[in-house]
Amino acid sequence: MTNRREFLQTTAAIAGSLLLPQAVFASPSSNFHFIHTDTLNHWPVFDPVQWSLEHAHEPILARAAEGLSKLTECDAERIIRLVVRRCSLNLLEVLPRRVVVDHWGSNRADLKPFFKSHRLARPGIEVVLKDRKKETVTTLTGDSFLCGVPLASDFDLEPFQSKWEKRFEQEADDWSAAPGTSSGFAWEGLQDGFIPWAALKSAWRSCSGVCLNCSGETVLTNFGLRQVGVFSRTGFVEHFCGACRRSFRDEMVDVKAWMAANLDQLVRPSDELIWGRRVAHTTKAHT
């Protein structure tokens, strides 16, 4: 699953992308785009076969230069296979309701940022993945390239959205458990692992998230420590986007530092859960 940390690392990698002369770029309205699998740098071209032959001297095509020198525009299929195999490139053809991606085996670019920027991560878009190594075809839909994971079909958004809208208000049931939470912490008077609405409201008032798909605001649903081994746990923070109906999880979070920064003193957990038993947490929760 793609989390926010991985997405930001991917975006940062673009800044270190390959530098190409401005002359190699076609109009942004071109149907064809090359994308580099390592840097995710992408650029439009009018004709990928002609472009490959004319720019065989560029560093981006260095590994295919010798082979390209022996080919002509009549060798279109061989040229595309050579470029995607030797140069860590994928070729995308973007049509009104269809995207065709030529790639070489497992060397396929992370298409999520491209699909987001071009508004292609939608169920009505057909995505045809052509593996030129095995000459096989896989067909997906555009929403397969959304970040995060789909919300469970039985996940009820309404309680979270209703409480989020009243995050600056105190309500009689704020110390009841938010449904579906499982934190690895415990609050006095609450069943183990459940998070009280009061704690979520406190976090909502101090921090907000941005959806990696539509850039809308996300709602925190869960945080805590997750058991990942016999003797190890890892911190996590989960949030969802109501518009995209996707859930996101940030892993490897220093969750105790996160709680100190985002939860009011009175709503922090009283205990940690270790091997199913409550162990006093350093900061007491509401009593």
Burial of residue 15 (CB within 10 Å: 0-12, 13-18, 19+) is: exposed
Strand order of the β-sheet with 271-274 is 185-186, 271-274, 277-280
Cut 0.85: pTM above it = no
CA 11 to each of CA 7, 40, 150, 190: distance values in angstroms, whole numbers, following the listed order: 6, 8, 22, 40
- Looking up tokens 């920064």, which residue turns up? 261
pLDDT value for 277: 87
Cα–Cα distance between 68 and 253 in angstroms, integer?
A: 48
DSSP string, 3-37: -HHHHHHHHHHHTTPPP--GGG---TT-SEEEEET
Q: pLDDT tens across 219-268, in order?
A: 999 999 987 777 788 999 999 999 889 999 998 889 999 999 999 999 99
Indicate if the pLDDT at residue 115 is higher than 70: yes
Cα–Cα distance between 158 and 160 in angstroms, integer?
A: 5
